Structure 1
Amino acid sequence: MRRNFLLLIFILFHGAVGAQNAELKTSAEASFKAGDYYQAIPLLQKVVKQAPKDFESWNMLAESLYHSRNHKKAANAYEHLVQLIGNDKELRNEHYLSYLYYGNSLMAVQDYDGAKEIYLMFLRLKPQAQNYRDLKRIANAKIRSCSEAQKIMQDGYVGEFIIEKLPETVNGSYSDFGPVWKDQSTLLFTSLRSDSLITVEDHEEFPAVNQIYMTRKSSEEWDTPELVDEYNNDLFHSANGTFSKDGKSFAFSVCQENDQHEVRCDVYVSYKKHNTWTKPEKLKNGINKGSYTSTQPAFGYYSRRGFTTEILYFASDRPGGKGGMDIWYSARSKRGDWAAPVNCGSAVNSSGNEITPFYDSDTQTLYFSSDYHFGLGGYDVFKAFGGLKSFRRPENLGAAVNTGFDDTYFSWRVSESNGTLVSNRSEEGAVFGENCCDDIFYFTKQMVMEIPAIVINADSVPLAEATVALRVQGTEASDTASVMLQTEKKGTFTIRHLQDQNIEVAASKMGYENTFMDISRDSYPDTVILVMNKKTEQKEIETITEVKPLALTDKSLNVKELKKGTVLVMEHIYFEFGASDIQEGALKDIDILEKFLSANPTIKIEIAGHTDSKGDEKLNQELSQERADAIRRYLIEKGIDADRLKAVGYGEEKPIAPNENPDGSDNEAGRKLNRRTEVVILEN
């Protein structure tokens, strides 16, 4: 997995594939075992198409997609595999890793409920594997991450960072990573520069390697990147550079792939003397260790008791760590010698992997990425205040920065203002398809204001778990997006917004009237207090019994006099969750309606879409509108005059049954009644 992340996985083509499925599978398996996942994927796709019950091939396909970070397709392949294995205990235990990877892929696409279910399945397995105990700890942490993900997304203000992918001048078709700013306009980064597929023949002794490039931004344009000859070698990978504060030292990784397709890196440094860079030399004193990896160096400076010490942070999988890749550091003495490395400690490092350190000396904060600490999926960016081996608990930078995919190499260009990060979130321009390759993104941090707020009832008692919606007026993006959160135990929440924004706040809770408040940018209050009044019992009854619809059937439509306002429910209208495509089972009701309208050309109707109260209110309204529009289009295509058809999406606005029980639990029967499509007679 690190190999995919740190360096490009090269593609080896082994010759023609035979026509027979057995030969095809043999070739695919050879590529898979060699780690040539991009070569294996198309072969395995052909194999499973010809042999859809071949679970071994499904496993290889799923794992190939997983390691190439195509998590959408990996999740689909793992779903097929799990279905094929079924309840066969022996096969389930044999493929125990598949369940863990399946959960990881679901997290990447932010299906947290689905991921949690798969992780629980993984924990119920009993494989005879030495690493299963460690992996159980990881799975338990992932389950907690799934539960925390929604809270992480609520806690951060999504507009805090404006993030833009650097242009194709910088980002090529392969992975581009390891950005480091030499000055305000000069960026160094690591890349394999090619706009087409690079193939490596078996007989080639020296394949293409990643190298360090430099580009400058002049006006609004980026110059064509140029090789930095001082740091590169034609035989080895050069990557992940970092400059010292005075600009006279440049540390970077030199890496090589061994026969087992494992990448091993060492940290080298070059010094600037008389305006010339010295030949890079491998750092000593244990910074580089035998057959283990030392990589992604980052210079930092730690001040204490009036003394400032130069520190080199780096990532390594050496013994003595907490598990996987850890962040280590080495302090430089006044004589210029680097001390033996020390682990940054359990506050930062975990049983998983911690990588791509960056130390902001101005704020004494370490930024790094982890696939273990509670996050949104894949690698998330975290920050921890402190230095050396004494850090506070890391904080997730939230949904303003992180996604379900791998987000790494966070670094400031100007502290607390702007900088760069690396992610495979983008699906555009990559040579191998979705999310295979890393790109460099530029971010700008916005000034976020915070207003403390509380929800109380008429007796001034705080209301916990009230749902609060925030809507920002004034920008195109904010007009179409709502932030949803819940109040804490003491009824409190925080309104986060950019300066000079008008904000709409709405609060709702079972048994209470909805409460609204507008906050003007001209007079931000010190504290926002939302008071909610209890609903009267009569109002709740009216909500439930307000509409008494008839089922839409041939019989109901044969009623001699359908009065204006008559409501008929289309009971067989089915939509996939979150989708507006008409399913086959819905056509019966729609065809009945079409025949009725054709036989009664004076009747005009409203097609009304309704949802239950799950999910975001605005999104529910939009989805119900799309569903009503889909039915209207179908009837128009059948020849019904468009002027006779009105489509309206009401979302969750008009329930005919309670969505929740009195104790606050889901009323599934009520929700089912509320998820309906109605026909309302407008004119007869």
Structure 2
Amino acid sequence: MKRIYILTTFFLLSLTGLQAQTQSFTGYIEAADMASARDDHYNAYRLYAIAAEDDWQEDNEYEDRIGEVYYKTGTAAYRSTAYTEAEKYLVKLQSDPSISKYPLTKYYLGQAVFRQGRYDQAVAYFQQFLDDQPRAPEAYRSTALAQINDADWAIDAMTRAEDIQLRHLPAGINTPDSDIMYTRGPNGTRYFSSNSFEYKQDSLTPRRMLSRILRQTGEATAVPLPATINLPGKNVAHTAFNKAMTKVYYSVCDFRNYDEMICDVYRADVGTDGKWSNPVKTDINQSNYSTTQPSIGFDATKGGEYLYFASDRPGGQGGLDLYRASLSSDGTIGTPENLSSVNTAGDEASPFWYAPRQTLYFATNGRFTFGGLDIYKSFLIDGRFRRPVNIGAPINTSADEAYYTRFDDPDQAYVSSRKPDSEAIFYSSERDVCCYDLYEFTPDPRIDLQALTFNKLTKDELIGATVKLYKITPDGPELIEEVINLEDNEFNFKVEQGAMYRLTAEKDGFTSVIDEFDLSSPELKDLAFIERRLELNPKVVLDVFTFNNVDESELPGTTIKLFTVGEDGKLTLIEEITDPLANEGHFDLEIGKNYLVEATKPGFGKATTEVDLRGYDPNDGGGNIRRDLYLGQSLEVYVIDGRTDEPLSNATLRLLKADGSLVSESTNTEGNDYYYTVNLDQPFVLNTSRSGYFPRVDTLRFTQQDLIDGGGKLVYYVPLFSDDINEFLPFEVYFDNDHPDPDAISLTTKMAYDETYRPYVMRRNDFKAEASTDMSTEDAFLVRGDIDQFFDQEVEAGWKQLSRFSDALILHLRSGKSFTLELQGYASPRAPTEYNRRLSARRNMSLKNFFQEYRNKALAKFIKSGQLTFTEAALGETTANLDKIYERIDRERESIYSTIASLERRVMLRNGLSSKKK
């Protein structure tokens, strides 16, 4: 078993006698070499140190061998843990001409200052060693690299040292030799082990020291247990009681070679008076291997006790490993189980089980440490030991710490440390290293929180992340601690019971993650240890650029939105960017997700693109993806009934480019609105159809002025006309007095209705003024209102109906049907009857001329072919109500400008007769 895990002592030779024998420079070197050969490094160091004194300068070999002596003194001092002395002699070697013979000097200097807690300087020495000695044995180079990582970790961990006060236990417990494993027993007794007993039957000179278990009751002086327990000539240590305090387990060790030992675990019964009896060697031991440092733990999950111990038996991970075996009430021990999740290739030792928090404490040098052995803890949750956590400074130091124990009522913990503290009984300026002393402290009552970072895609541990811990307060999140871990993926914090916290994790090349949790929640409030997994996705940077689709110029001020697309197609907005001065936006995407990017700008149509990273390999094309979005103008199309202007749902629209390629085809069953993106000054063809209506085709071309007129967007209305043309009829159109062709006596006219209509509607204000002449204010107001209503609801409405009917008539005739339209012309009774009949005929003729010229003679061919025919009736004033209409020419207000007279100047379109297709 390795000496650092037993009660360390030093066997000092009688240097006076040795000096008498050697009395020479080379004699001390030879004696030191002999001590070193048997691994007695402390006495080797003391002898080399004598040879290194200046008193030997007159010796013929001094000048040639002093560099050798410095090196051997320094390395022997290091191996005996006299780190200050090791540094002193290795520094002296730096100026010696023989320094080149000792390529490991910087390596040992790094180790010496590391164990003194000077981590920055240790890193410098190790790096110099790696730079200067590229061909040094790989074992030393790899260790130097590992120690650099340890030093970096220790520097960072020291910044998070807890405010814990350690109290050095008094003399009577601590001695000039090693004192370890402070344990509480039955009836208020306390036990510890001390290596302060001389081995009187030792065959070596000087005699070695033995360890004994001591018992203390009250304030009485501690006394060793009887020889039935502290067996003569053996090292006995480490005390562990079962939960019932009826059995105790301990180690019994034999010397093997000079200061190595091999140990076995023993068991004894504990009586009601606290005395131990019936000691036996347990069957957990394995021949020729050490089984030592027992601890008894109650597993709350499985409801039974386990024996924990350290052993170097075969099958472990390296050095000493920790094991546990089930323990029956009669002392029967089950099959040992290697604690593989706790053990390392280094050494794990001095296990201690703390039942209230289901926590295993132990010492290790196989993980990041402040130097040598550090105390770690691992929580047993759901039958699995969680990743061990260094309990931190000031409990752990650059010296060795081991044999942690903790007890309730009161909550006190104990640790054995070899730190060269001024309170340490062994310590003096001449003897800067020796033994373990016992210290007492009150543990931090807060809950342990461990955050672990992982690559979400690969599930691998993610090293080099930054994790921040926030406490959620009424005033918002309060940053408690920020940790950057360049060595592994573990982040350890302390949190208060019942509080709310937030963890954030980030790393270059990965998306950040947020984790919030409430320690008052039922699933967390009673835990002593909380583990949170933070999974960061490898990040892909999406670069989006927006352009005008017309001329491909940059389009600044575009709003770019990023959505995730769920498995059900649901969109969730992640981020939105609008840069008024630039045409770009940049987003962090997660591999394994599907995204939609949307770009919009007032006056432009929406542009979208999908970015599917569900099967994305970050090694393909690097970590950047570019998307260019071209925005055209926004076109809103509304389908209406061509006769009533009412919204018309359930129409099907097909928008095509000029080359015939389809832009979009859709049917809106719930509304009459359709949305497209088009380019200015480029033609599109819109096909619109609906059941019960004539289909229509529109050629669309929009200009910048159309965009201005539409208030930043393009709006187009599509009137559909019922395939039943008779729905439009009857309706009436109106004329100005004596129009067309005033004062004419002809039955015909060359004017079309639109030519007479337009001047007529321009005279609205004239009619209002004349109709209200010489009236009171109130009567004039009413009359002018009647005139406005007449022009709105009759004159202009009739024109609109005429235009819509004409469009529908075109579609009707194009479908192959024929149609006969009856025109009935009327006049007011102002002129003689025959004049009015001729005027009515001219009015009918103006409608026929209108149809002949409508839409670039679209109906002319149907008139010529006879598909469209007319019947006429020139009725003049024959239907007018002469009791209400003045006929006198000198009464123009009543006979020309009144609404009663105006209503008679009209043509009624009616009785349209359709026939079957030809």
Name the TM-score class by shorter chain: 0.5 to 0.7
Looking at structure 2, the residues matched to 46 and 200 of structure 1 have their Cα atoms a distance apart, in angstroms, of 30
2:320 touches 2:347 (CA, 8 Å); kept in 1?
yes
Give the CA deviation at 1:147. 0.9
Give the CA deviation at 1:246. 1.0
AA partner of residue 323 (structure 2): W
Looking at structure 1, the residues matched to 495 and 356 of structure 2 have their Cα atoms a distance apart, in angstroms, of 25
2:123 equivalent in structure 1: 116
Looking at structure 2, the residues matched to 495 and 361 of structure 1 have their Cα atoms a distance apart, in angstroms, of 21
AA partner of residue 270 (structure 2): K
Cα offsets for 1:512-553 (capped at 9, x unmatched): xxxxxxxxxxxxxxxxxxxxxxxxxxxxxxxxxxxxxxxxxx
1:24 touches 1:43 (CA, 8 Å); kept in 2?
yes
Alignment of 1:209-358 (within 5 A): 209-218=210-219, 223-229=220-226, 230-272=228-270, 277-284=276-283, 287-304=284-301, 307-333=302-328, 336-345=331-340, 347-358=341-352
Cα offsets for 1:238-287 (capped at 9, x unmatched): 01111111111111111111235321111111123575533321111xx3
**Residue 83 of structure 2: which of 64, 71, 84 is its match?**
71
- Taking a change above 3 Å as real, the CA distance of residues 274 and 398 of structure 1, as seen in their structure-2 partners, is closer
State whether structure 2 residue 186 is matched by structure 1 residue 186. Answer: no
AA partner of residue 236 (structure 1): K
2:181 touches 2:405 (CA, 8 Å); kept in 1?
no
Gaps spanning 5+ residues in structure 2: where?
Answer: 57-61, 449-464, 467-479, 486-490, 498-918
Alignment of 1:182-581 (within 5 A): 182-183=185-186, 185-193=188-196, 207-218=208-219, 223-229=220-226, 230-272=228-270, 277-284=276-283, 287-304=284-301, 307-333=302-328, 336-345=331-340, 347-386=341-380, 390-414=384-408, 417-425=411-419, 426-427=421-422, 428-430=424-426, 433-445=431-443
Looking at structure 2, the residues matched to 199 and 99 of structure 1 have their Cα atoms a distance apart, in angstroms, of 42
AA partner of residue 326 (structure 2): A
State whether structure 2 residue 35 is matched by structure 1 residue 31. Answer: yes
**Cα RMSD (Å) of the superposition?**
3.9
Give the CA deviation at 1:33. 2.2
Bigger mean CA deviation after superposition, 117-126 or 73-82: 117-126
Q: How many residues are aligned here?
A: 448
1:4 touches 1:68 (CA, 8 Å); kept in 2?
no
- Relative contact order: is structure 1 or structure 2 higher (C-alpha 8 Å, sep ≥ 6)? 1
Aligned partner of residue 433 in structure 1, secondary structure: coil
1:365 touches 1:387 (CA, 8 Å); kept in 2?
no
2:14 equivalent in structure 1: 13
Looking at structure 2, the residues matched to 319 and 395 of structure 1 have their Cα atoms a distance apart, in angstroms, of 26
Cα offsets for 1:454-486 (capped at 9, x unmatched): xxxxxxxxxx99xxxxxxxxxxxxxxxxxx987
Looking at structure 2, the residues matched to 435 and 399 of structure 1 have their Cα atoms a distance apart, in angstroms, of 20
Cα offsets for 1:27-67 (capped at 9, x unmatched): 22222223333433332112122347534333332233223
**Residue 141 of structure 1: which of 123, 137, 146 is its match?**
146
AA partner of residue 16 (structure 1): L
1:458 equivalent in structure 2: none
1:11 touches 1:198 (CA, 8 Å); kept in 2?
no
- Taking a change above 3 Å as real, the CA distance of residues 170 and 122 of structure 1, as seen in their structure-2 partners, is same
1:141 touches 1:374 (CA, 8 Å); kept in 2?
no
Give the CA deviation at 1:86. 7.2
1:343 touches 1:389 (CA, 8 Å); kept in 2?
no
Give the CA deviation at 1:398. 1.2
Give the CA deviation at 1:2. 3.6
AA partner of residue 295 (structure 1): T
**Residue 170 of structure 1: which of 159, 173, 183 is its match?**
173
Aligned partner of residue 264 in structure 1, secondary structure: strand
Larger Rg: 2
Give the CA deviation at 1:175. 1.0
Looking at structure 2, the residues matched to 141 and 182 of structure 1 have their Cα atoms a distance apart, in angstroms, of 41
Cα offsets for 1:120-151 (capped at 9, x unmatched): 4555657796xx54x65544332222111122
Cα offsets for 1:393-420 (capped at 9, x unmatched): 1111111311111111111022892121
Give the CA deviation at 1:207. 4.8
Cα offsets for 1:575-634 (capped at 9, x unmatched): xxxxxxxxxxxxxxxxxxxxxxxxxxxxxxxxxxxxxxxxxxxxxxxxxxxxxxxxxxxx
Looking at structure 2, the residues matched to 333 and 494 of structure 1 have their Cα atoms a distance apart, in angstroms, of 36
- Taking a change above 3 Å as real, the CA distance of residues 334 and 224 of structure 1, as seen in their structure-2 partners, is closer
AA partner of residue 213 (structure 1): L
State whether structure 2 residue 151 is matched by structure 1 residue 150. Answer: no
2:46 equivalent in structure 1: 42
2:181 touches 2:404 (CA, 8 Å); kept in 1?
no
2:694 equivalent in structure 1: none
Aligned partner of residue 32 in structure 1, secondary structure: helix
- Taking a change above 3 Å as real, the CA distance of residues 224 and 58 of structure 1, as seen in their structure-2 partners, is same
Give the CA deviation at 1:119. 3.4
- Taking a change above 3 Å as real, the CA distance of residues 415 and 384 of structure 1, as seen in their structure-2 partners, is farther
Give the CA deviation at 1:297. 0.8
- Taking a change above 3 Å as real, the CA distance of residues 36 and 344 of structure 1, as seen in their structure-2 partners, is same
AA partner of residue 344 (structure 1): L
Looking at structure 2, the residues matched to 99 and 301 of structure 1 have their Cα atoms a distance apart, in angstroms, of 48
1:13 touches 1:39 (CA, 8 Å); kept in 2?
no
Cα offsets for 1:635-654 (capped at 9, x unmatched): xxxxxxxxxxxxxxxxxxxx
- Taking a change above 3 Å as real, the CA distance of residues 11 and 5 of structure 1, as seen in their structure-2 partners, is farther
TM-score calculated relative to the size of structure 1: 0.58
TM-score calculated relative to the size of structure 2: 0.44
Give the CA deviation at 1:429. 2.6
- Taking a change above 3 Å as real, the CA distance of residues 81 and 216 of structure 1, as seen in their structure-2 partners, is farther
Give the CA deviation at 1:320. 1.5
2:783 equivalent in structure 1: none
2:612 equivalent in structure 1: none
1:605 equivalent in structure 2: none
Aligned partner of residue 45 in structure 1, secondary structure: helix
Aligned partner of residue 27 in structure 1, secondary structure: helix
1:141 touches 1:373 (CA, 8 Å); kept in 2?
no
Looking at structure 2, the residues matched to 274 and 343 of structure 1 have their Cα atoms a distance apart, in angstroms, of 34
Aligned partner of residue 405 in structure 1, secondary structure: coil
Cα offsets for 1:373-430 (capped at 9, x unmatched): 1121121111111179831111111113111111111110228921211001124431
Give the CA deviation at 1:357. 0.8
1:190 touches 1:212 (CA, 8 Å); kept in 2?
yes
2:2 touches 2:260 (CA, 8 Å); kept in 1?
no
Aligned partner of residue 25 in structure 1, secondary structure: helix
Aligned partner of residue 269 in structure 1, secondary structure: strand
2:488 equivalent in structure 1: none
State whether structure 2 residue 113 is matched by structure 1 residue 62. Answer: no
- Taking a change above 3 Å as real, the CA distance of residues 33 and 384 of structure 1, as seen in their structure-2 partners, is same
- Taking a change above 3 Å as real, the CA distance of residues 138 and 180 of structure 1, as seen in their structure-2 partners, is farther
1:267 touches 1:297 (CA, 8 Å); kept in 2?
yes
Gaps spanning 5+ residues in structure 1: where?
Answer: 451-463, 466-483, 500-684
Looking at structure 1, the residues matched to 382 and 67 of structure 2 have their Cα atoms a distance apart, in angstroms, of 48
Aligned partner of residue 18 in structure 2, secondary structure: coil
1:471 equivalent in structure 2: none
